[in-house]
Amino acid sequence: MVRHIDRRTLLAASLALAGCDSQPKAAFQGIDLTGAAYARELKLSDPAGQPRSLADFKGKVVVLFFGYTQCPDVCPSTLGELQLVKQELGKDGERVQGLFVTVDPERDTPELLGQYIANFGPGMTALRGNPEQTQAAAKEFKVFYAKVPSKDGQSYTMDHTAASFLFDPQGQVRVYARYGQGPKALLHDLKLLLAGA
């Protein structure tokens, strides 16, 4: 015998079951990567030659971006936006760490990286590896990059994934911030992570 259940009973049961779920997810404006099984490890060197890993920055919200110093637009605009957002956050901006990982270790020497990242204010660090380490880091983060020779073959540019990865203070990847979302979206998501979302 089939029993009829009215809509109010069904709605109440649905709401009760939804309440059994863990905490509701934060409403990030970027893509929510909470629980992702990648972007967990990074072992490269800073411009001083000091080995660094994501664990070094626990306690801070980390914004990690892959690029290269001779990038004409995407890289400087992304790092510039992060600098503006850190300023907008005031004192909380000190709790945000920017990491710039070069995909062009051939040209991006430690000295050049140090000079380049200094243009974007405090709380920013550049990271570099040899070609094999760079490839491993890109694979861990599912990031694409490729050398594109100029027509005359005398130089090259780099095609690369244009997005930032946001990590919470516990060192867990949480957000994939696509290029072009703008500083308001980044500010929104950083505020959530700083508040413990």
Q: Is there a contact between 168 and 58 (Cβ–Cβ < 8 Å)?
A: no
Q: How far is CA 129 from the centre of its chain?
A: 18
Structure tokens at 12: 């109440």
Rounded distance between C-alpha atoms, residue 61 and residue 64, angstroms = 10
Annotated binding site: 71, 75, 160
Annotated binding site for Cu cation: 71, 75, 160
